[in-house]
A = this chain, B = another copy of it.
Amino acid sequence: MRALRALRPRRLLAMAAAAAAAAAGGVRRGPVLSPECMNPAIRRVEYAVRGPIVVRATELEQELRKGVPKPFTEVIKANIGDAHAMGQQPITFVRQVTALCLCPELMKDASLPSDAKERAQRLLAACAGQSVGAYSASPGVQMVRENVARYIERRDGVPAKADDIFLSTGASDAIVSMLKLLVWGSGSSRTGVLIPIPQYPLYSAALAELDAAQLGYFLAEERCWALDVAELRRALNEGRRRCCPRVLCIINPGNPTGQVQSRECIEDVIKFAYEEKLFLMADEVYQDNVYAEGSAFHSFKKVLMEMGPPYSDSVELASFHSISKGFMGECGLRGGYVEVVNLHPEVKAQLAKLVSVRLCPPVPGQMVLDIIMDPPKPGEPSYERFQAEKEAVLSALAEKARLTQELFNRTPGIHCNPVQGAMYAFPRIDLPPRALAAAKEKKQAPDMFFCMRLLEETGICVVPGSGFGQKEGTYHFRMTILPPTEKLKMLLEKLSAFYTKFVKEFS
């Protein structure tokens, strides 16, 4: 305040000078960086999950806070997989260890368990200067990379090397780093990247930014969003006419679609990648989020290795994981990793060089990753609590996945596949022709029109299917299943009721 008061006379002076210049008819220099002359690739980037609907939701929250009357008392942001924002509590051990790493004087706090202190001590010993405030090695703290490799070995039953693990600032960061190595060229030699439709919009955004050709392959909604190799082949052949397809991205469990791929399907995809000379990128950040009976997570790495040669020693694979999802949901700490398999050693050195330009991933996120990869063991003081907290989150999610599908399908016109995994429902909604016409008049995609109306009338924020991609003439939205069960029920009922009213209005 003192500073502001002090500067007032100077401000007035500057304002007066500006007014004088304007009065004198002085021509103002136009900007260097105008909307017309900025990088056109960035203009093309779209990111629906934090797009216009979320901007509007944030505005509505501010209006509510100012007392503007609305037909709802709370904005519910079901647009993003953000567990803690929805009230999920962090895993106690994760936070105790991270706090101890940040503030080692807490080692004397008697209320913190001994295994948390031991873990923090081990992690600090692995940091330069014993501080999480020092840069780590660019691919991550060596001890954490080794714990990731051991986790992968336990998960897959096949060997893994710390040297193939690169820690990252969330999975998004690692995905973009891999794409940077892979994408180049222009015209018919421009790199083409196969991505599922519907997709997670990080992919379309990154491809737009890097100026790659996006080649969408449709998941089969009628077969619970299954991946079909014939459809992959169609997309590839079509792509070959206009670019050079070199990468195949898979999201398993699916985002936004929630399907869990069968082992057989993964084998087919690997054979396809081998035959067609495609680099495989497997987004496996929801590997701990599998709920449906009969569904199980199979990592691409495990299946690839078990297929043996020529697949296991030649198909190049990058598999991504994150601390933002699973049962811990530590989105804000920005941690993740990529494991590279069969990557050419010189290219691996180039990857190491590329990540070194950003110095290192955030160290607290690396600490959290270490704990998730190497959780407390039976007999250790924090084991029971860690397991109980983990199981509570995962079983609640399974219940919410079931509930969501069930409640949506009760409403005529809403069609929701089983949520086998991940954290979202992606129901299809029938929209009457008059609603399509009204959307067209507003120059909005029909599902954007629906979602905007939903937001304005109920405060519920979900993301239109058009942000993820969908078959023409079909309409969807993505909603997280993360709110607490009772709130989720209320949300599903409100949303369904709004849908019924909306259809009636436009019939």
Contact = CB atoms under 8 A, between A and B. Distances in A.
A175 to B, nearest CB: 11
Contacts of A246: 32-33
A310 interface: yes
Contact of A365 (B180, B279, B362): B362
A435 to B, nearest CB: 28
Nearest to A205: B357
A181 B209 CA distance: 10
A313 interface: yes
Contact of A88 (B11, B102, B129): B129
A385 interface: no
Given A28-B310, A38-B182, A99-B103, A158 B84 contact: no
A92 B350 CA distance: 38
Contact of A181 (B6, B42, B47, B310): B42
A342 B18 CA distance: 14
B28 A347 contact: no
Interface in A339-382: 342-344, 346-347, 350, 353-354, 356-365
A382 to B, nearest CB: 13
Contacts of A88: 129
Q: How many copies does the complex hold?
A: 2
A181 B39 contact: yes
Max chain B C-beta neighbours (<10 A), residue from A90, A99, A170: A99
A173 interface: yes
A147 interface: no
Contact of A129 (B58, B84, B309): B84
Interface stretch (A132-140, A260-268, A290-298): A132-140
Contact of A82 (B34, B134, B332): B134
Contacts of A497: none
A347 to B, nearest CB: 5
* The 4 A-B residue pairs with the shortest CB-CB distance in the complex, in nearest-first order: A332-B363, A99-B103, A85-B128, A84-B131
Given A31-B342, A202-B357, 6 more contacts: A3-B150, A7-B157, A86-B129, A106-B106, A133-B329, A173-B358
24 contacts: A3-B153, A3-B154, A14-B306, A28-B314, A29-B274, A32-B277, A34-B347, A38-B182, A39-B181, A45-B354, A77-B128, A82-B134, A82-B135, A85-B131, A95-B103, A105-B111, A133-B333, A134-B331, A136-B332, A172-B359, A331-B360, A332-B364, A333-B363, A364-B364
